[in-house]
Amino acid sequence: MIRAEIIRRKAAGDIVGYRVEGHALFADEGNDIVCAGVSAVAVGAVNAAEAVAGVKLLVRMEKGLLHAAVPDQVPDAAREKLETVLEAMTVMLRTIEKSYGSYIRIKEIYK
């Protein structure tokens, strides 16, 4: 099972990080469309944050784990673009969860 956590700031509700961990086990390695979809969305958001908003997320990645955090100092001009990227990522992950809920669980954490 893949577990994803979207971490939000309690006061503002904006996304300050996310964590995706585990394996879907939908199919054999190399043929698992759930793992491939989730990986593409999660890694794509890291790349889009930099390409679209100019923000380099703080990332830790290893087999079966991606943890990304928004740096403390993000210019106001970039913050709205970054939030759009991260909210789009959340919608995409929720869409996968809706179709493949036995293989992925998403929860939102407010800190």
Euclidean distance between CA atoms 54 and 31, whole angstroms: 33
Q: Is 35 a catalytic residue?
A: yes
Q: Which of 19, 23, 79, 81 is catalytic?
A: 23
Q: Is 103 a catalytic residue?
A: no
Euclidean distance between CA atoms 99 and 79, whole angstroms: 31
Q: Which of 24, 35, 45, 93 is catalytic?
A: 35
Q: DSSP for 41-86? A: HHHHHHHHHHHHH----EEEEETTEEEEE--S---HHHHHHHHHHH
- Active-site positions read 23, 35
